[in-house]
Every structure is written in C-alpha cells, then in structure tokens.
Amino acid sequence: MTKILPVLTLLLWATALSAQITITADDTPEFGRFLVSATDTTITELSIGEPSAQPQEWSFLELDQHSRSENTVVDPATTPGAADFPDATFTFVTADSQYAYAQVTDTALLALGGTAAVLPGFPPLTAAFDNPQLLLTAPATYGTAFNDIYRIAVTVAGSDFGVDADSVRFVRTAAIQAEVDAFGTLSVPAGTYDVLRLRTEVLTVDSISIKLFGTFFPVPGTPIVSETVSYEWWGKDGVGIVMSVDEDEEGVLSEATYLIHSSDMPVGPEAAFSAAVGAEGLTGFDNMSSGSASSFAWDFGDGTASTEVNPEHTYAQQGIYTVCLTAINSVGEDITCEEVIVALAPQAAFTSEVMDDGSVLFTDLSTNDPTGWSWDFGDGNSSDEQNPEHTYAESGTYTVCLTASNGAGSDESCEEVDVSIVSVGQADPQAAQLIIFPSPASGPARLMLKGLEGERLSLHCFDALGRQVWQQQLQSAPAVVELPAQRLSPGLYRLMARFADGQRVVTFSVQ
C-alpha cells in the first residue's frame, strides 16, 4: 500500500526566533494558499548532505518532473467532511477533490485523516486516524526529536471492490522515530527557503482482511511489513514541506517531491515546449509550461498522443508536423502549437537501363529527399550525379551500389547489373525500340533509342491534336536523347523517330 494521505505533508508554519531556524504553531497556512509540487523518480545519485549543527545550503533546481500535484488550503468548515473532523484547523484539497484534514495546536502539527484512493480504479474513501498522526512538534528547531505511533483502518463493502465477501478491511499501523538533523537554506523551482530537515524512520505494517460469515480472515500475503527512511525539508512562511526525499528498503534514494509553485491563489497554466529531433525520427519534447499545470495532453500531429510530462515520440515519415501541448490545472487550461520538422535518413533505391553498346542509364529512386549521391559502378568507376550514365568496356555482371545521404544520415543499396555489349555492325534497325522515362514526366525526360545507335534520323513530337510541338535532327543517334518535357503543357504526346528503314512511335504524358 502506498502512503494513504500524502497531501498532509505539504504544510508549515514558521517563525525565526534565533540565529537557528525555529518552527512554531504561530504560522499556520492561510486559506487560499496554492501549492504545486513535482516528483522526480530518478534520483539515485542525488546528494542530500550529512547531519550537521551548522547551517547548510541545498540547491535542487535541476530535478526532473515525472508527475505533478496541486493542493489548495481551505477552511475545513467549507468541505464535505467537516462533520467528520470537527477539530481540523485547515484542510488541503487536491485537484481531483481529495481532502486532507490537519490540526495545529500549541505543541504539534497533527494529521487527522481525510479521503484517499485505497486501491486504483475505485472511489476515494473517508477515514480518520485512530489517534492523530504527529507530523511535527512545536516549537521545532535543530535537535528536536519525537516518536509516534498511529493507526488507520477502513472497512468497506466487498461489492465495492468486486470481492465476493461481506466486507473488506484495510489497516495500517506505523511507528515513527523522527529527528531534525540539519537546517539551512533550500533552493527549489518555487524559490529559496529557510528550512529544517526532518529525518524520519518508519516501520509500517499493512494488512488486508475479508469478512465471511461474520468472521474476518487475513488475505494471503498480508500483513506486509516495511521499513523506510524519509527526509523532509520544512520551510518558513506557511509553505509547508518544501521538499521530501524517500529511501527504499535497501537504503537507496528512490524519489524526491519538491515545491515548484506557491501563491496566494491558484493561477492558470501557460503551455510551452521545445522539441529536439534525433536520428530515425526519434523526437524528444521538453515541457517548459509555467503556471503550475497538474496534467498535460500532447498531440504529435500524426494521429498519436501522450499524457507524459516530457515524452519521446518516433515519427515514421519525415515531414512538417503541427505538435500541440495542452497544460491543465484546476483553474483552466492553455494550449500552444509548434511546427516540428522531421528529417529522416534516405532509403536508397535505383533502377538501371542497359544499352547494347555497354552504356547503362541509372535512375535514382531514393526516398526521404537525399541531397547527396555516391555511385560505385562495380568496375572501379564512380559518380556523384543523381542520375548518371556509365559505359562499361566489357560484358559481364557488375555489382552497382548507390549511397544516398542527407543531413539526417545515409543509406546504401546494391544491385547486380548484367551488361551485354553488341558491336555496331550488329545493329538491326528493324528491331528499333523507343523508350521514354519517366512517364508521366514533370521535368526533363530521356528517350532511349534502342537499336538505332549511330543512325541518321529525325525526331518529331505531336500533341493530342496532332500538332507538331518539337523536332530534332540527329546525324548519328546516341543511345539516349534528352527531351525538353518541362517546356510542354500537361497532356498526352506522341514521339516519332524517322530513319532510313522506317519509323517508330512511342506515346508519353506530361504532368
């Protein structure tokens, strides 16, 4: 079981009576005081200092925020549980409407009880301590020590927890040994405070039992006994516990809860964030919201979302994404949106067209907008063009590799290309073939004149209405001719090649 009433540790009253720091019962928190805390669960390397009778300085301004909680101090008479806690002098109410009741006397600060979620997914229950829990004696200063034993029990109907039993009883009994072992100044995001550090050793026994046929039976595995140590920095001026650090049962620091905002009245949040795009689309988001937000809602712009404080997200495709962060607390909410540019490393790919004279036309098909190309033709030659043409001296099978790169990285693709060189004397105009690519074309296109290399011919381009829009005379036809498709209007076209033994026609389109 977790702590039943964590919100009770967020209070303080203080008065400086000497060079040391002294806390008395004179400074109770004022109604309307609004306190927001954050929790860091990765503090194993945190240094909290040693016990000392000399003033110390602590600074914890760089802690992470894995979760947040907000509490408002209210008059107990205005709360739903006022009749159950008639001795309460003030109450903390959380953002999700849980209440913690406390009493200040001339000699002590006491936790009386309140509401708490005993099990996840079930409504909070109201419970009072059998004897109030002693949080701090008054006055308190360096060297103050005290012991305490408290017990709290809650009994509910078995049906409320989906249990086939008459009722379920939860009991916690704890023995406390506490001592103020240090004092000084503590800096957290909410400000710098004069503090006393209270070290507390707690032996806790938690038990659960179910009632069947009029008798309570313990649940297997209970009672659960645990020993923990915590450190609490109590601040001045009614801000409560400025920071607390818990050790686990192995004595390793496990989490820190610290004050990030304190004001007389709740304030609305102001959403803000930054994004850092890394390799393979992994993007980290740094939440810089202010105004004590207690929860967050992220929209990553690609149909996915998160409620983490500082999430990471991997984009599957590059592009410009509109990312929105909504910061929320009990006062209201605020939303901010930013464009995040995600650049992914290219995925290299290409095609090849082999000519009879040993020339090969390579076309880059790489995705994710490469800005650089490096070709290895497999015969000791290379190129840095996007769509190069290379002529092999001999027939054979060559392993051709393309490395495509951009600012986000690079990728390599290799394919085997079979080259069979046909001598000029073997060319057969009757086997002539025209190939245009790409089609449809949006820029310059290429015309392959297979079987017509070295021939004298003329090229004629006609639009869909039969009008000639372009022509060219070739005295000795090359293997490939550049076509000015970028100068043509979108539509369907016919290209005719006329030569001594006849003509060939090919159709292509422009977009």
Residue 249, CB-side half-sphere exposure with 13 Å CA sphere: 6
Please answer whether residues 318 and 344 qualify as being in contact, where contact means their C-beta atoms are separated by less than 8 angstroms.
yes
485 alpha-carbon distance from chain centroid? 47
- Report d(CA 162, CA 184) in Å as an integer: 50
Residue 18: pLDDT band (50, 70, 90) is very low
Residue 249: pLDDT band (50, 70, 90) is confident
- Does residue 183 register a pLDDT over 60? yes
Rounded-to-5 percentages of helix, strand, coil across the chain = 5, 55, 40
**Mean pLDDT on 91-98:** 80
Residue 39: pLDDT band (50, 70, 90) is very high
The per-residue pLDDT for 248 is: 82
Residue 448 CB-density burial (10 A; 0-12 exposed, 13-18 middle, 19+ buried) = buried
The per-residue pLDDT for 53 is: 93
- The DSSP secondary structure of 11-62, one letter per residue, reads -------SSS--B-TT-PPPTT-EEEEEEES--TT-------SS-EEEE--S
Every domain range in the chain assigned CATH 2.60.40.10: 278-342, 350-419
**Mean pLDDT on 284-302:** 87
Q: How many residues does the chain have?
A: 511
Residue 25, CB-side half-sphere exposure with 13 Å CA sphere: 15
pLDDT digits (tens, 9 = 90+) for 194-230: 999 999 999 999 998 888 777 888 888 888 998 899 9
- Does residue 19 register a pLDDT over 70? no
Please answer whether residues 202 and 230 qualify as being in contact, where contact means their C-beta atoms are separated by less than 8 angstroms.
yes
Every domain range in the chain assigned CATH 2.60.40.3080: 428-510
pLDDT digits (tens, 9 = 90+) for 153-170: 888 777 666 667 788 888
The per-residue pLDDT for 70 is: 84
The chain-wide mean pLDDT, for the chain, equals 85
291 or 298, which is more confident: 298
**Mean pLDDT on 60-86:** 87
Residue 428: pLDDT band (50, 70, 90) is low
- Report d(CA 103, CA 126) in Å as an integer: 17
Lowest-confidence region among 28-37, 84-93, 305-314: 28-37
- Does residue 63 register a pLDDT over 60? yes
pLDDT digits (tens, 9 = 90+) for 326-367: 998 877 889 999 999 898 889 899 998 888 778 898 999 998
The per-residue pLDDT for 193 is: 92
CATH number for the segment(s) 350-419: 2.60.40.10
32 or 472, which is more confident: 472
The per-residue pLDDT for 432 is: 79
Residue 122: pLDDT band (50, 70, 90) is low
Backbone torsion region of residue 130, taken as left when φ is above 0, otherwise alpha when ψ lies between -120 and 50, otherwise beta:
alpha
Candidates 359, 354, 410; CA nearest to 381 is: 359
- Report d(CA 390, CA 403) in Å as an integer: 16
CATH number for the segment(s) 428-510: 2.60.40.3080
- Report d(CA 49, CA 39) in Å as an integer: 20
Lowest-confidence region among 17-26, 211-220, 308-317, 489-498: 17-26
Residue 6: pLDDT band (50, 70, 90) is very low
CATH number for the segment(s) 278-342: 2.60.40.10
